[in-house]
Chains A and B, each alone.
Chain A
């Protein structure tokens, strides 16, 4: 489980974490630094915890420690806290990154990289929000589905360049 420096595949749930007497003490969600959308069924990987393996479960997760491997919580929210360092692919309903992630992120609903977030990897999500100051390198694959208000990137107006030249145009063609 939350053993340091053991390179093996590990599946954990927050319930398991809490039931093990040898589990290192971790903060509860209410003790964690403020983070949006954390509800009462939220597990926490504390700042001193390092995990190598696969993290799965059936509740929301806040990562303030280090995770290497993969995080798979397709129906829940994963928050990488400011002290969190994740070297893993993350799959979740929503993903919020306040810390560091090196890996691919799949958000079934949304991915948010906050102003303190640093992500190197590829993101796939219907919606992605980057706050000012966020550091990101990689690709972002977005498909918002039906968006009636916006149907095309291209302006379908009579101000097409081929029809109307800019006033200060210096070169053409």
Chain B
């Protein structure tokens, strides 16, 4: 798979970014060449953390660390970092309640009141797993590429639960996509 998909919500991510601003971006997932090419035209700082490579993050019997402890080890940034834009892509479909809450706790110190985020979740819990990597081509287009290996731990959550667990963000807009998937535009909850 090597597809392009239009996005009606991506423009909202960048609306509050000033022209001369150095943009700080969090990218939770593997980076596609398209993403690098897109951001290479701007003053920016990209923080790349492929949490998909760490899945599954749910607590397993015998684990020495709690999910919160594991997440803390995986998600940390230099002091003073404030993200303008966060790309979760479809990571939230692979985290359980503990994982999502832990992720939010780790991110909270790095969010500004104007931080915006983007995510793919599901409208229907029976929506099939879509094993792909995501990238940004433009402010209105997303690139999708197949993964070589199936990502474990696919267990999408209902919108109600996500709304409760996404402490730090509120859903600003959502758009229904094919196969009962949802594209979310999130804004920092102050």
Contacts and interface: CB of A to CB of B under 8 A. Distances in A.
Interface of A: 127-132, 134-144, 147, 149-155, 157, 159-161, 166-173
B109 interface: no
Contacts of A129: 33, 36-37, 40
Contacts, number: 110
A143 B46 CA distance: 11
Interface string B123-146: 100000000000000011000010
B19 A128 contact: no
B175 A168 contact: yes
Interface residues of B, number: 45
Interface of B: 8-9, 11-12, 14-19, 22-23, 30-33, 36-37, 39-50, 77-78, 123, 139-140, 145, 171-177, 182, 185
Given A137-B49, A171-B173, A142 B40 contact: yes
A143 to B, nearest CB: 5
A141 B45 contact: yes
A173 B186 CA distance: 10
B14 A154 contact: yes
27 contacts: A127-B40, A129-B36, A129-B40, A130-B36, A132-B32, A135-B50, A137-B50, A138-B47, A139-B47, A139-B78, A140-B39, A140-B45, A140-B48, A142-B43, A144-B41, A152-B14, A152-B19, A154-B139, A155-B11, A155-B15, A161-B11, A166-B8, A166-B173, A166-B175, A169-B174, A170-B174, A171-B173
